[in-house]
Amino acid sequence: MTIALDPGSEGAPYAATVRFVGHRTDAAGKRTSADSFTKDERIDRVVPGSGPVSVTTWAYHLNPGAWEVTAELIRSPAAAPSAGRPKSRGHTLPRATWSWTRWQLVDAPYGAVRTSSGIAARLSSVPAVIHGSWSALVGLGIVVGTLVQILLLAPYGIEAWQVILVTAVAVAAGLLGAKVWYAVLRPRQWRKSLGEGWSVDGSIVAAPIAGVLVILALGLPPLTFLDASTPAFFFGVAVGRLGCFFTGCCAGRCTASRFAVWSSDRRIGARRIPTQLLESAIGLVLGLVLTFLFLNDIPPVDGVIFVGGVGTYLVARQFLLRLRADPRASSISMERAAKLA
């Protein structure tokens, strides 16, 4: 279920809590604890003047049937500046859905909510989120990057099957490194959802190491191969980060800036700093610039494109990490943000 929240037009950012209350309407006989629920969703940063905010929640282990579900803003420091406990706002928040054509929240009719299976519930509609887009676009990014590698390395007599083999091993190692590094950064989170949580920093370290081992085993020029793979990697980043945007991972901080883009972290939808789109743009620019340098043999020393490209990306990434909703001071910082519900 998704509701809309008006953050107000003035004031400083504040935290708020939305309480969802549900009762099964078609229960027969004696009611049990699985015929009702109360669930609080905390919003750590509500920014006045940023426009409508959506809050999406799920409730599990309930009896199947039709449910009446309402939501209320029960705690808001901005709404209760005086001393003492903030009071309830005392009204039911409107339901909301998403319009892809208008790229904004729109009103949804009030009505009974029916239960569904756990998997179907997780695939239910969330504002500005396309389920499966991360896997699809990351996969497309890998294909695009591989094609770029094949084209750039063909003049050096390196065959397509050799490029594909090296890339396959590097991608597998990169995924493993991304998951391991995510587990290091978030030791309490990674076990809860093995399909989510990947750190690009771990991939950047693991993938080249594994790739170089295969390159050496095949007797290929390692520095030339790495130089050609660098722009290919960044084209993959440009495509893959679009998947992050449409999936709702790596979301930016909520803001009222005119440069903000309405997006979601799969739970809270709001105007945010578009960190995923910024990283995609950085990847595209680096890919184009480094491709030009490689094709024109600039600089003439092998390996410089790889070192310079990766170094530039890591510096830019440290800046973007500070703009995320779960900011980290650096890529080796420990987790500071609360987990997604």
Residue 131 CA to residue 330 CA, distance in Å, equals 29
DSSP string over 253-275: PB---TT-EEEESSSEEEEE--H
pLDDT of residue 189: 62
pLDDT of residue 328: 54
pLDDT of residue 198: 65
Ramachandran region of residue 84, left (φ > 0), alpha (ψ -120 to 50) or beta?
left
Residue 324 CA to residue 100 CA, distance in Å, equals 24
pLDDT of residue 334: 34
Q: Which residues contact 86 (CB under 8 A, 6 or more apart)?
A: 75, 76, 77, 79, 80
pLDDT of residue 80: 43
pLDDT of residue 197: 64
Using DSSP bridges, classify how beta strands 268-272 and 104-107 pair: parallel, antiparallel or unpaired: unpaired
CA dihedral of residues 40, 43, 47, 51 (deg, nearest 10): -60
Give Rg (Cα) of the chain: 24
Residue 192 tokens, joined: 């809860």
Task: Return the closest-CA partner of residue 237 out of 287, 202, 306.
Answer: 287
Which runs of E-coded beta strand occur in 52-172? Answer: 53-56, 66-75, 96-99, 104-107, 113-114
Residue 32 tokens, joined: 């049990």
Residue with tokens 């339901």: 95
**Reduced to 3 states, what is the DSSP secondary structure of residue 247?**
helix
pLDDT of residue 153: 97
CA dihedral of residues 93, 99, 104, 109 (deg, nearest 10): -20
pLDDT of residue 286: 98
**237 and 283 in contact (C-beta within 8 Å)?**
yes
pLDDT of residue 319: 94
Domain-wise residue ranges, the chain: 2-122, 133-321
Task: Return the closest-CA partner of residue 96 out of 120, 68, 128, 66.
Answer: 128
How far is it between the farthest Cα atoms of the chain?
Answer: 81
Residue 280 tokens, joined: 């995609």
Show pLDDT as tens, one digit a residue, over the chain (341 residues). 899 999 999 899 999 999 999 999 987 778 898 999 999 999 999 999 999 999 999 998 899 999 999 999 986 554 444 333 334 444 689 999 999 999 999 999 988 888 888 777 778 889 999 999 999 999 999 999 999 999 999 999 999 999 999 999 998 988 888 778 777 776 666 555 555 566 677 777 888 899 999 999 999 999 999 999 999 999 999 999 999 999 999 899 999 999 999 999 999 999 999 999 999 999 999 999 999 999 999 999 999 999 999 999 999 999 999 999 976 544 333 333 333 22
**Reduced to 3 states, what is the DSSP secondary structure of residue 230?**
helix
Residue 102 tokens, joined: 């208008």
pLDDT of residue 329: 41
pLDDT of residue 176: 86
Element (H, E) at 18: strand 14-24
Residue 196 tokens, joined: 């989510």
